[in-house]
Amino acid sequence: MKAEVLDEPELEFGGSQRHVDPRFGIMDYGPADLGTSEAPGEIRVGLIGPADQLDGLRRWLERCRDPIDAKDERYPHLFPPFPGCELHRGLHTVVVCSDRNTRPITERDLRLVQLASGADAVRIAVEAYAAAIGSLADENRTDVLLVARPQQLADVRSSLPGRGRQGSVAVPQAHPEDGSPRDDRASMGRLPNFHDLLKARLLNLRQPIQIIRRSTWDEDTPPERGRRREDEATRAWNLHVALYYKAGGVPWRLQRNPSDLATCYVGVSFYRNLEKDSLDTAVAQVFNERGDGVIVRGGPARVASDDRQPHLAEGDAHSLLRNALDQYRTEHHTEPARVVLHKTSAFLPDELAGFQGVADERRLDLLELNWITNSESIQLFRPGEAPPLRGTLAIISARELALYTKGSVEFYGTYPGMYVPNPIGIRPVNVIRSPHEQALELLALTKMNWNQTRLDGRLPVTLRTANQVKTVLRFCPPEQAIATRYAHYM
């Protein structure tokens, strides 16, 4: 076995400048699309929620136009200040709210939510919010719809504990900071909740929605039980980057050399539709180097008897990748020369035949297939008490790699986690590039996360989106048309 520590991949920002950290890259150089005609110089935000929250939320958004001090001088790289949201700094945009683009939820509807309980309360809240959001969206004066969650609605917790499984993308509930997908079957035990049901209901809208809790903007409101509140500057960073991306902006992108092949990244994962609880369904998350993501829903999957993991028949694997490439061409008006496909279970012969058949038909220069496991039995140690550095790569064999995507971060000067990190596994089916190159690209893909702005994501964007997409799509009937843009699910 060999081990090495990879350099932290750099991201690209305004003026093609580079930095390892998303927040410092934006502060120093602006977003990646700065100066282009596509960059949103203004984000028109619609506000929907209880009347007693909307004024406070608007005041906080106004406050975020000015800089917000850093939390902790001991770790200035981990907790940087928020530069403010103005045309001449930070994301170089402004968030615009107006009374005309505000829809309060009526006291009557909120009272009905409070009087109900469980699934009934969720259903009443979703109906009331969907009506208000729909009427505002129809007027087509907004880019993103910011939804203040009702305080009257209790959180719905999982009815099953998270159970991690070797060889699947399953993150135990003991590691909430990972932000990674949970076990497919464990997540199926979750009761319907406001976030997932509302997103599923509104997938037909042009504008994405962003749901926000009162504790995010109101310092006097404690976070819900079991949740922790980040410092104000970090909360401002995370919200404004999400709004910028949902408004069509590109906060940062993967760095790419001119000689590199145009690449499409595809993640394949599985979920169960609630209307057909026995049916596993495949879904593909498709991204380019800019991070533009599209969602493609596939056909049925089956659980194999040998590994108890969901898999695709040859025809379904062929259809899923073909449809993914069709959607990629529709969105980006070009075909990729290289496809990198990540899957949450091992590749069976039928799946290999289906995926390779599409590669042959589309005359792809390269098709790289990788099974990504959530955790590895191998553990690495370094002198002292700190965990291994993020980017530590163990090469067990050409087809078995272990990579620490969580760990101590040199740029932060500390380990920014609460639990002992575990490496993820990389199982390349066809060894085309060196282990170093494979792991470095995957490490870069963990940084393509517009829901949070730290550099140390656990899973590549191809797979970390799986939980967000699955928890929404499971409430959509198979015949329902769905939004293809990833921004509608995050």
Burial 345-367 (b: 16+ CB within 10 A, else e): bbbbebbeebbbbbbeebebeeb
What kind and span of H or E run contains 60? Answer: helix 51-63
Q: The tokens of 91 are what?
A: 């994301």
What six digits make up the tokens of 134? 């729909």
In this structure, are residues 304 and 348 in contact, taking their beta carbons and an 8 Å threshold? yes
HSE, side-chain direction, 13 A CA sphere, residue 458: 25
* Nearest by Cα to 163 from 148, 179, 182: 182
Position 184 scores a pLDDT of 41
- Give the integer Cα–Cα distance in Å for 332 and 15: 22
User: In angstroms, rounded to a whole number, what is the distance separating the alpha carbons of residues 230 and 454?
Assistant: 12
All domains of the chain in start order, with CATH: 40-156+191-246 (3.40.50.1860), 254-488 (3.30.420.10)
pLDDT digits (tens, 9 = 90+) for 203-237: 999 999 999 999 999 999 998 877 889 999 999 99
Choose among 265, 346, 336: nearest CA to 307: 346
Task: Kindly report the three-state secondary structure assignment for every residue of 179-210.
Answer: CCCCCHHHHHCECCCHHHHHHHHCCCCCCCEE
Is-contact 298 282, C-beta < 8 A? yes
Show the low-confidence residues of the chain (pLDDT under 70): 155-192, 275-279
pTM above 0.85, yes or no: yes
Asked if 459 and 169 touch (Cβ cutoff 8 Å), the reply is: yes
Beta bridge pairs of residue 254? 11
CA distances from 161 to 62, 170, 185 (A): 40, 12, 10
Q: Helix, strand, or coil here: 250?
A: coil
Position 275 scores a pLDDT of 65
**314-333 burial by CB neighbour count: b if 16+ within 10 A, else e?**
bebbbbbbbbbbebbeeebe
Helix ranges (H only) for 189-288 are 194-201, 214-217, 232-246
- Please state, in angstroms and as integers, the Cα–Cα distance from residue 358 to each residue in 135, 363, 427, 487, following that order: 42, 8, 21, 27
